[in-house]
Amino acid sequence: MAEWKECILSTIIDLIGGGTPKTSNDEYWNGDIPWLSVKDFKDANRYVYKTEKTITKQGLDNSSTKLLQHDDIIISARGTVGEMAMIPFPMAFNQSCYGIRAKENINKTFLFYLVKNSIRELKAITHGSVFDTITKETFSNIEVKVPDERTQEVISSILTNIDDKIDENIKINNNLYAKQLGKYTCL
């Protein structure tokens, strides 16, 4: 059996802050770069594919927003704390979120499930006078156990297969619901 090492979550990730280009500058908006806010991934099972808003390269370059890469993680940090998704292709994001990037020797998908498993603990140590807030320090207060890379891959594969089945079942249920609505509208 693989040996699991205890470590602090912040030691196995790079945390990336987001930002918002000036909304008063039309040259920053409606480009070809997806720009995430919490509402875009609030109900995501694993990946977020669409964003309500997009920005331009100029908007990216002239603001504090950053570009997340394939299989980076997005997590809501304010208000609705702890909503998560993985990024299937490059996307920018606002300051109400953090991007989480796996460090070397950490499987990206394993990290997603590891952080997801730590959400309750993250939420328990949030703070803020108006909104609950996750800060960079929050990630330094979470202890996790991490196995070797091969075990990370095996765990990721198993959990991904389960999530794929959940996604498939959601689609089937949505199709059945749509058919049911169609039949009842004829009555």
**What residue segments make up the domains of the chain, in order of their start?**
4-185
Q: Is the pLDDT of residue 5 over 80?
A: yes
Average pLDDT over residues 63-79: 94
Q: Give the Cα separation of 99 and 113 in Å (integer).
A: 15
Question: For 135-145, how does the pLDDT look when each residue is reduced to its tens digit (9 = 90+)?
Answer: 889 999 999 99
Residue 118 CB neighbours (<10 A): 16
| d(C-alpha 118, C-alpha 122), whole Å | 6
Mean pLDDT, to the nearest integer, of 122-128? 79
Please answer whether residues 126 and 75 qualify as being in contact, where contact means their C-beta atoms are separated by less than 8 angstroms. Answer: no
pLDDT of residue 185: 62
Query: What band does 187 get if pLDDT is binned at 50, 70 and 90?
Result: low
How large is the average pLDDT for residues 53-82? Answer: 94
How far is it, in rounded angstroms, from Cα 97 to Cα 73? 10
Q: Which fold has domain 4-185?
A: Adenine-n6-DNA-methyltransferase TaqI; Chain A, domain 2 (3.90.220)
Round to whole Å and give the CA distance between 112 and 114.
Answer: 5
Average pLDDT in the chain: 91
- What percent of the chain is modeled with pLDDT above 90? 69
pLDDT of residue 124: 84
What mean pLDDT is predicted for residues 81-90?
Answer: 94
Give the pLDDT confidence score for residue 134 in this predicted structure: 87
91-93 and 29-36 strand pairing: parallel
Task: Report whether pLDDT(130) > 70.
Answer: no
